[in-house]
């Protein structure tokens, strides 16, 4: 229990971007952007990740773009599956239909159905 707390204290000075919202749980970080266009969301998240890359380099953290999950939740059905084009440290991030954050699988409608399907004993 002490290690995540110490990590949060050590990493408490991460740069904040006014265009995004950050959620931190131990060493898991979630960046969220809500904008009227996909291009604005992509620009906000790319800029935020570039700032985090510089912060990580100064504080000897190891960023892992290959483990980073990107998704969009959109109410308009025709745009629901549009992938985001987000770069981090020169690497294009992969889009996921149902990303996981802190062990919770998110679905587009945020009903958490996938969690309950897989958690039932057979």
Q: In total, how many domains does the chain have?
A: 1
Domain contains 45: yes
The parent domain of residue 67 ranges over 2-97
Is 106 a domain residue? no
Q: Does the CA dihedral 85-86-92-98 come out positive or negative?
A: negative
pLDDT, tens digit, 9 for 90 and up, residues 65-78: 888 889 888 777 77
Q: What is the pTM of this model?
A: 0.74
Distances (CA, A) of 45 to 17, 92, 97, 118: 9, 12, 18, 31
**Cα dihedral across residues 113, 111, 101, 67: positive or negative:** positive
Tell me: the pLDDT tens digits for 26-47? 778 888 898 888 999 999 999 9
């Amino acid at each position: 229990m002490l290690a995540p707390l110490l990590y949060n204290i050590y990493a408490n000075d991460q740069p904040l971007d006014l265009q995004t919202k950050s959620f931190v749980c131990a060493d898991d970080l979630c960046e969220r952007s809500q904008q009227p266009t996909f291009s604005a969301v992509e620009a906000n998240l790319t800029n935020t990740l570039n700032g985090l890359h510089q912060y990580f380099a100064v504080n000897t953290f190891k960023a892992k773009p290959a483990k980073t999950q990107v998704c969009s939740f959109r109410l308009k059905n025709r745009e629901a599956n549009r992938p985001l084009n987000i770069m981090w440290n020169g690497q294009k991030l992969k889009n996921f239909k149902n990303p996981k954050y802190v062990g919770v699988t998110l679905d587009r409608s945020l009903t958490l159905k996938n969690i309950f399907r897989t958690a039932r004993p057979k």
